[in-house]
Structure 1
């Protein structure tokens, strides 16, 4: 027997269409929740295991290099960036030489890191190739934490400075608190 005080309501009888509508609504809510995620949490730099916010690589043009170029000035011929010491912050490697209207000026390869004080210039922390070695950098890259370069040089002082006759694939890797250099000589293709 039915109670006359309560009328029969449509929603009290579950039909398949009601279950489908409920399932579709729930799927929409789950999909929307997956799409609307909160932003990435950032811990303070001192927290153990915290990731340091990405810092920009040092600007190679903002450094005073140890070159004596006189009035012609210094030219940054190539630069590459990457984390070389595993601290999560990028360093910049710069191939630098004196500006020259012609000829092949020797290059220096330098590693730059972040400023010692905020707002200061980047710090030059290592010389990988000294200009006194009379080498020219053909290419420069940072790959998997190593600096790689092709260096052109001279087999003797009798070789004209216009025409390097040695080609070396060179790699530097940070090990034991210093950069370790390995070189593989190649046949010159110059």
Structure 2
């Protein structure tokens, strides 16, 4: 019942003063042996075969309290779970948010804008394309254009196709072309159908 008594005290502060006393609350929890750590025990943190990655993950995990990371000054909101860093270990499927975070953290010229990962196909039925997958992206591009004034921009959007393959879309106003970078052979009709074929270039990148 100790936790109820502590919460009752904080509720009285909230009613009387309009706020709780956070420091006192933490001290009461510790005194009652009810303190909750934001970190998992070290032996419960998932491990990989990469020592450097494990050390990086441990360092970051110990420095955050919410279990989530956000990229500062990102051109579009970019936040992901710390656990997603574990997917950097090799042949593990990366999360879409981690892919976007890497683009935000990379060196970019001033006229480059990075969006978010656009799903091209449905989650439940990955053989079927989404309806109007680029609608939200077009609104953001319009907003970026207004902010840039007369400057011509270049936009990057990762694309998630069939739920198991990432490609990259580049909309280049400076060259007047749209590039689709795909590490797999063959064209992506579900992507090309949305763009003017005269300005669309599908490029296979050997990896």
Q: State the TM-score, normalizing by the size of structure 1.
A: 0.24
Judging by fraction of residues, say which structure has more strand: 1
More helix by share: 2
Normalising by structure 2, we get a TM-score of 0.23
Larger Rg: 1
